[in-house]
Amino acid sequence: MQNSRSKPCSCPSLKLREVASMYFTMVAAFLVILVVALQGSVPRGSDFPYKVPLDPQGLLELSWNVSYPEQAVNFQLLIRDLQFGLLFGMSDRGEFENADLAVLWSDGHNSYFGDAWSDAKGQLHMDSQQDYQLLGARRAPEGLYLLFRRAFSTCDPKDYLIEDGTVHLIYGILEKPVHSLQAINISALHGGLQRVQLLKPNISIPELPRDMKTMEITAPDVVIPSQETTYWCYMAELPEGFPKHHIIMYEPVVTAGNEALVHHMEVFQCAAEFDSFPHYNGPCDSKMKPDRLNYCRHVLAAWAMGAQAFYYPEEAGLAFGGPGSSRYLRLEIHYHNPLVFKGRRDSSGIRLYYTATLRPYDAGIMELGLVYTPVMAIPPGEDNFILTGYCTDKCTQLALPAAGIRIFASQLHTHLAGRKVVTVLARDGREQQVVNADRHYSPHFQEIRMLKEVVAVFPGDELITTCTYNTEDRSRATVGGFGILEEMCVNYVHYYPQTQLELCKSAVDPGYLHRYFNLVNRFNDEEICMCPQVSVPQQFYSIPWNTFNRDVLKSLYSFAPISMHCNKSSAVRFPGEWEKQPLPSITERLRERIPRCPPSPEPRPAAPIPLNLGQLRR
């Protein structure tokens, strides 16, 4: 052990005046270097391949890139209308409380940049560990560019852990000068949130064929309604006799100026069982929308704000056209217009890239998770209620080819109460790997995400999908179903080669649920009607949700047998016994990943960095 006492120094002694002179010379040199660095050129736009507007007006534009070797994200923030600074950061679900923040502020003469955090009351504090690393700042004709970097994991308890899945970004604009960080009043800021997938997969773009063609499915000059939220539906159709092709790529087509209003878009193919579908161009929730459009549910493409082009693996493509395939497509666009702009016209949509030279494999889409049924329910007032759906070894053994399938993309889905979704691959009772996980999931941000690595699934494997819900704002039970206030737990996995297996999901055995209702009746003073004519939702709605009834329901879902839906595309189950199936037995779980802390640099003082931005406007 090293002796803590200092050893005699053989260095020549320095006078106090000389030490002070050297210190201030070093500080001055540092500030000169800093100012030079801050006035340097902005990196090329190609250095930041991912881009998203933060605010509805597009005054704040965030670009970024991801360095997996360095385990860090590099940010470029364009501030088109700089006033007296801004807050930018991350929090669990987009709250300004308990947030991890990078702050730029000005007292009207001098500007500063610092790493900060907010407490449960929204009060700002300078972080003792400065992990937002400022790289540069520069004024340009279009605004101020601010460049900074942040490690995925900092091992600072006040910092947000950047991980796979959705990240809730928050921003706040300072409209008045402030004399210190602590003087910033978060509640008075003009701010908002934006959801993105920060950690994009580092996937090489496959070579595209020479005979590739494009097709744009776009809205026909729609006038965006002057309301905050609109889902717009537009019907399109393929040419008569359109033969089978493979979709090999798609990308968004967003009308210039509407980048902050077009939130997400999807293209659905309609059911082949109908010869025709009526033309429609209007709000998806309108009473004028033909009911038959509800049979257009097969996803061909899905895009959300911040996503780039989607590429299929070079050995597979998504089939459309030809016999047994509907010519009719439905485009759905979600417009997010919180500032209620009027008269904005839009012709956004999705551009499909396709080829007549078919690839070796047709890609398929398989549903994992829970069946859409009210037997799976969440009591009211729950902050962290878990439901799990199974694709069992019995189903994969029967339905998958001997060589297995390869999952290359995934789209997670719940309704409004969903907070977390995870799908895990298990083999022989041991969890092998995470297929897809979103621990900050939002039902308002759903996209098809390419996986960082292809997941091989073989006959006899199990795919287990777990969803976590929050119903603290609800006064009655939330049951499974199609309604927006009902719930789902789904992972649409994209894979190849396509098989007959289209749906591999489960639900609790109805007979065991009936026993639960009987038990609740016996142990509670209030009578719950068990009459055959009373629906399962009504029985759940009548339960008094005390601790006992909640705990017994949780226990039921964790041990009761399940009803398996091992379905072909025709919605018919594969032959076999699928009722009262035992839950998969998992004997070995995946270990929780321990965040990797970056090497400890020289400690940086918990003090803001001065910036030479000149006098800001008043």
Residue type, 166: T
The alpha carbon of 390 is separated from its chain's Cα centroid by a whole number of angstroms, namely 22
Question: What pLDDT is recorded for position 540?
Answer: 95
> Where in the chain do CATH 2.60.120.310 domains reside?
201-359
8-46 residues labelled b (16+ CB within 10 A) or e (exposed) = eeeeeeeeeeeeeeeeeeeeeeeeeebeeebeeebbeee
CA-atom Rg of the chain in angstroms: 28
Question: Does the pLDDT value for residue 37 go beyond 60?
Answer: no
Residues 399-454: pLDDT tens digits?
999 999 999 999 999 999 999 999 999 999 999 999 999 999 998 888 889 999 99
User: How many residues does the structure list for the chain?
Assistant: 618
Residues 506-533: pLDDT tens digits?
999 999 999 999 898 887 766 656 566 7
Question: What pLDDT is recorded for position 34?
Answer: 41
The residue annotated as part of the active site, out of 50, 231, 280, 512, is 231
CATH dotted code for 50-200 = 2.60.40.1210
Question: Does the pLDDT value for residue 580 go beyond 90?
Answer: yes
Confirm whether 444 is a catalytic residue.
no
CA 90/CA 131 separation, integer angstroms: 13
CA 586/CA 431 separation, integer angstroms: 7
User: What pLDDT band is residue 19 in, cutting at 50, 70 and 90?
Assistant: very low
Whose CA is closest to 504, among 492, 488, 496?
A: 492
- pTM of the full structure: 0.85
Question: What pLDDT is recorded for position 236?
Answer: 96
Weakest mean pLDDT among 265-274, 344-353, 380-389: 265-274
User: What pLDDT band is residue 15 in, cutting at 50, 70 and 90?
Assistant: very low
Angle at 583 between CA 472 and CA 551, to 5 degrees: 35
Cβ 272 vs Cβ 325: under 8 Å: yes
- For 584, phi then psi, to 5°, come to -60, 140
Residue type, 614: G
Question: What pLDDT is recorded for position 57?
Answer: 86
The residue annotated as part of the active site, out of 125, 336, 413, 514, is 413
> Where in the chain do CATH 2.60.120.230 domains reside?
364-521+530-593
Confirm whether 190 is a catalytic residue.
no
Mean pLDDT of 92-112: 94
Please give the full DSSP string across 256-318, using - where no structure is assigned: TT-TTTEEEEEEEEEPTTSS-----EEETT-TTS-GGGGGEEEEEEEEETT---EE--TTEEE
Residue 554 tokens, joined: 């949780």
> Where in the chain do CATH 2.60.40.1210 domains reside?
50-200
- For 520, phi then psi, to 5°, come to -60, -40
Question: Does the pLDDT value for residue 387 go beyond 70?
Answer: yes
Please give the full DSSP string across 389-415, using - where no structure is assigned: EEE-HHHHHHHS-TT-EEEEEEEEE--
CATH dotted code for 201-359 = 2.60.120.310
Residue 232 to residues 217, 222, 229, 291: CA-CA distances in angstroms?
A: 13, 9, 10, 15
Question: What pLDDT is recorded for position 612?
Answer: 81
Q: Tell me if the bond preceding 497 is cis, omega within 30° of 0.
A: yes
Angle at 393 between CA 392 and CA 396, to 5 degrees: 90
Mean pLDDT of 535-555: 94
Cβ 394 vs Cβ 576: under 8 Å: yes
Question: What pLDDT is recorded for position 532?
Answer: 62
- pLDDT winner (highest mean) among 98-107, 305-314, 335-344: 98-107
Mean pLDDT of 285-294: 93
User: What pLDDT band is residue 601 in, cutting at 50, 70 and 90?
Assistant: low
E strand map for 127-211: 133-140, 143-151, 166-173, 190-197
CATH dotted code for 364-521+530-593 = 2.60.120.230
Question: Does the pLDDT value for residue 255 go beyond 50?
Answer: yes
Share of the chain above pLDDT 90, in %: 74
